[in-house]
């Protein structure tokens, strides 16, 4: 009896299992149907939101950057306004409000432009241009008409009202287009299940962004970016070539400063060559006490330029602010937009008049408070020089030092803007030092190179190492107190040191050292020679620097040029 009951219970359990199986199958089929319907609906959806659907979407150089917008884009008829913050983010991080003239100053590549808040006029590289709009303020936000800045930023702009998308393309970038050979959907990705972002028909043109395997990434005429099968388009055609900037100097810079005083004339170097160099920097220009740019070129300077070009050397003359009282004169110029522009115009004119290849800005002893204004000067000078194919190099001192000597340079900005930043790696112990020491010790130079590259993030190939063709003879009394010093050119060192004095190699400074007594005084000299210079120049290869600049022509020994050339090669 008990066994029959168990059998009946077993049969009932099997029945329940069968019913449960049927319920599971029905539920599974229902889930599959729901998923299929959801996928169909997902794929069939015509568009996805590129950014904030309530605001204009922004596509720059085939990349959706809407999420990076800090403020809304304002569109009024044919005028399109973008905020100063967004222009700084996308185009000109150094965009500047000139309160002196109530205008915005913006630079990009080879253009500098100003645009005011009242009149429909702007200047581009000093020339006025009538506009249809001007800068405006909306609350606390400044807006500029980007449609008026197309020539400045080198861009094409198109607003697509159907999709509320603004496209901006750099005219310097290559662009490819292709014809679609069949109706197709544009997908958000190459995944099998991907949302449709647009639909294109046979015969439409698309911009081809990239191609990989079976898929091409494209931009439709409605500004939508997505993927289609590569077989759906014909072979892309290049409709705009990329513009590549040519470097004036191939390989490392090998520059020598050819200094002569403000009252002298350019040296006559006809019939001579300087082995290995590719740039000469003569003392053509300087500021005077009135803040005007004076030329010291003349017929001798013109002959000098011809000599240099005939020998394949580029000419990057110095623009100096040397002299007593020039700190205030320089500060006065830096603190005025109009005076900076006046100086820039004169520099540009000098470059054109004398067919120069570059300019070397050698401003020293400036106010620490003017650090940003000197950067502004370089920011505003660079595009004007680039527009005429002239290279800009800027001389700076070691990062640590006095306010007017070292802390007046923003090396990060200067290194970002200028073509070359020249580190004047000398006078570690100079004329104002209260104790004797080397002019340029290897370890000190290397430490500061690392600061330029790591702390100030200067590109290594932009950093040029300045080396000295001189040293100093230090004089101490019997108590070890410093009595004085005098600079000694390399080519006069041997005749300055008494005969028979033994030189000692300092492996930390990587230079020879001598010490001797004469007439009750002790003399010390850390020698600059081919051995020390070879070690210094080796840092160019070690840190992939942009090259070498030597101060100054006429102080060297004849064998130094071969040493520098070999070290650079």
Torsions phi, psi for 454 (to 5 deg): -95, -50
Q: Which of 368, 371, 379, 294 is nearest to 340 (CA)?
A: 379
Question: Average pLDDT, stretch 530-552?
Answer: 98
Q: 35 pLDDT band (50/70/90 cuts)?
A: low
Rounded CA separation 436/509 (Å): 14
Question: Which pLDDT value is given to residue 4?
Answer: 44
The structural domains of the chain, ordered by start, are 57-157 (3.30.457.10), 174-240 (2.30.30.40), 253-468+529-568 (3.20.20.80)
CA angle 519, 475, 554 (to 5 degrees): 110
Indicate whether 43 pLDDT > 50: no
Question: Average pLDDT, stretch 524-539?
Answer: 98
Question: Average pLDDT, stretch 358-366?
Answer: 98
Neighbours of 274 (CB within 10 A): 19
Question: Which pLDDT value is given to residue 428?
Answer: 97
The contacts of residue 233 (CB under 8 Å, 6+ apart) are 178, 179, 180, 181, 206, 208, 216, 218
Rounded CA separation 316/279 (Å): 7
The contacts of residue 4 (CB under 8 Å, 6+ apart) are none
Question: Which pLDDT value is given to residue 106?
Answer: 98
Torsions phi, psi for 68 (to 5 deg): -90, -5
The contacts of residue 486 (CB under 8 Å, 6+ apart) are 472, 473
Question: Average pLDDT, stretch 354-375?
Answer: 98
Question: Average pLDDT, stretch 357-363?
Answer: 98
Sign of CA dihedral 96, 99, 101, 103: positive
Question: Average pLDDT, stretch 492-498?
Answer: 97
pLDDT in tens, 5-14: 444 444 556 6
Rounded CA separation 551/424 (Å): 9
Question: Average pLDDT, stretch 129-147?
Answer: 97
**CA neighbours closer than 13 Å in the CB half-sphere of residue 250:** 2
Indicate whether 563 pLDDT > 80: yes
Indicate whether 262 pLDDT > 60: yes
The contacts of residue 434 (CB under 8 Å, 6+ apart) are 482
**Could you give the 3-state DSSP secondary structure of residue 400?**
coil
Quote the percentage of the chain above a pLDDT of 90: 88
Sign of CA dihedral 431, 432, 435, 441: negative
Q: Which two tokens stand for residue 101?
A: 């003239």
pLDDT in tens, 60-74: 999 999 999 999 999
Whose structure tokens read 């050979």? 181
Question: Which pLDDT value is given to residue 359?
Answer: 98
Q: Which of 118, 139, 135 is nearest to 71 (CA)?
A: 139
Question: Which pLDDT value is given to residue 50?
Answer: 36
pTM, two decimal places? 0.90
Q: 245 pLDDT band (50/70/90 cuts)?
A: confident
Question: Which pLDDT value is given to residue 32?
Answer: 64
The contacts of residue 315 (CB under 8 Å, 6+ apart) are 279, 280, 281, 282, 304, 305, 308, 309, 354, 356, 357, 358
Whole-number Cα distances in Å, 544 to 409, 411, 417, 454: 23, 18, 19, 14
Q: 323 pLDDT band (50/70/90 cuts)?
A: confident
- Classify burial at 235, counting beta carbons within 10 Å of its beta carbon; exposed 0-12, middle 13-18, buried 19 or more: exposed
Question: Which pLDDT value is given to residue 34?
Answer: 57
Length of the chain: 569
Question: Which pLDDT value is given to residue 25?
Answer: 73
Q: Residue 472 is inside which H or E element, if any?
A: strand 470-476
Q: 309 and 345 in contact (C-beta within 8 Å)? A: no
Neighbours of 102 (CB within 10 A): 11
Q: Which two tokens stand for residue 145?
A: 């008409």
To the nearest 10 degrees (0 to 180), the angle between helices 371-387 and 337-353 is: 40
Starting at the earlier edge strand, list the strands of the sheet with 111-116: 96-98, 103-108, 111-116, 121-124, 127-130
- Classify burial at 378, counting beta carbons within 10 Å of its beta carbon; exposed 0-12, middle 13-18, buried 19 or more: buried
Question: Average pLDDT, stretch 119-138?
Answer: 97
Question: Average pLDDT, stretch 424-442?
Answer: 97
pLDDT in tens, 95-105: 999 999 999 99
Question: Average pLDDT, stretch 7-35?
Answer: 62
DSSP one-letter string for 187-225: ESSSSSS--EEEEE-TT-EEEEEEEETTEEEEE-TTS-E
Q: Which two tokens stand for residue 138?
A: 């909306």
**Could you give the 3-state DSSP secondary structure of residue 387?**
helix
Indicate whether 48 pLDDT > 50: no
Number of H helices, E strands in the chain: 12, 36
92 secondary structure, DSSP code: -
Q: 318 and 259 in contact (C-beta within 8 Å)? A: yes
DSSP one-letter string for 507-535: TTTTEEEEEEEETTEEEEEE--SHHHHHH
């Amino acid at each position: 009896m008990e066994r029959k009951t168990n059998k009946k219970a077993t049969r009932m359990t099997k029945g329940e299992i069968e019913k449960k199986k049927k319920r599971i199958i029905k539920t599974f089929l229902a889930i599959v149907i729901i998923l299929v319907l959801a996928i169909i609906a997902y794929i069939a959806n015509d568009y996805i939101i590129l950014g904030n659907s309530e605001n204009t979407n922004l596509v720059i150089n085939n990349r959706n950057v809407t999420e990076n917008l800090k403020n809304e884009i304002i569109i009024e008829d044919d005028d399109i306004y973008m905020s100063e913050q967004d222009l700084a983010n996308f185009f000109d991080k150094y965009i500047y409000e000139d309160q002196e003239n109530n205008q915005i100053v913006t630079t990009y590549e080879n253009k500098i432009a100003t645009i005011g808040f009242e009149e429909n006029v702007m200047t581009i590289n000093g020339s006025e241009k009538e506009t249809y709009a001007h800068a405006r303020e909306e609350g606390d936000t400044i807006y500029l008409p980007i449609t008026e800045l197309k020539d400045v930023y080198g861009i094409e702009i198109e607003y697509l009202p159907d999709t509320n998308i603004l496209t901006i393309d750099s005219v310097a970038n290559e662009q490819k287009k292709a014809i679609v050979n069949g109706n197709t959907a544009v997908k958000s990705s190459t995944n099998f299940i991907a949302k449709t972002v647009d639909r294109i028909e046979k015969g439409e043109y698309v911009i081809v962004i990239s191609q990989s395997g079976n898929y091409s990434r494209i931009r439709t005429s409605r500004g939508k970016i997505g993927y289609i099968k590569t077989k759906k388009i014909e072979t892309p055609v290049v409709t705009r070539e990329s513009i590549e900037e040519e470097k004036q100097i191939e390989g490392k810079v090998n520059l020598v400063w050819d200094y002569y005083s403000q009252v002298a004339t350019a040296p006559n170097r006809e019939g001579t060559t300087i082995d290995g160099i590719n740039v000469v920097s003569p003392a053509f220009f300087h500021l005077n006490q009135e803040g005007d740019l004076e030329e010291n070129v003349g017929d001798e300077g013109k002959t000098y330029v011809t000599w240099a070009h005939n020998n394949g050397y580029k000419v990057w003359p110095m623009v100096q602010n040397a002299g007593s009282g020039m700190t205030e004169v320089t500060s006065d110029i830096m603190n005025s937009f109009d005076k900076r522009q006046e100086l820039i115009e004169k520099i540009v004119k000098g470059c054109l008049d004398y067919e120069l290849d570059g300019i070397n800005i050698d401003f020293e002893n400036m106010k620490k408070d003017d650090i940003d204004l000197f950067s502004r000067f370089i920011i505003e000078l660079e595009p004007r020089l680039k527009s005429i194919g002239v290279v800009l190099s800027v001389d700076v001192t070691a990062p640590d030092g006095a306010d007017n000597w070292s802390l007046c340079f923003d090396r990060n900005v200067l290194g970002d803007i200028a073509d070359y930043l020249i580190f004047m790696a000398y006078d570690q112990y100079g004329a104002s030092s209260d104790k004797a020491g080397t002019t340029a010790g290897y370890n000190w130079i290397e430490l500061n190179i690392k600061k330029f590259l790591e702390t100030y993030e200067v590109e290594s190939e932009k950093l040029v190492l300045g080396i000295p063709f001189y040293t100093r003879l230090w004089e101490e009394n019997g108590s070890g107190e410093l009595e004085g010093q005098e600079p000694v050119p390399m080519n006069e060192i041997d005749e300055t040191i008494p005969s028979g004095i033994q030189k000692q190699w300092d492996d930390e400074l990587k230079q020879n050292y001598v010490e001797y007594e004469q007439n009750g005084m002790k003399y010390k000299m850390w020698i600059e020679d081919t051995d020390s210079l070879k070690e210094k120049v080796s840092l160019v290869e070690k840190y992939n620097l942009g090259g070498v600049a030597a101060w100054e022509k006429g102080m060297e020994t004849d064998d130094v040029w071969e040493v520098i050339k070999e070290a650079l090669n």
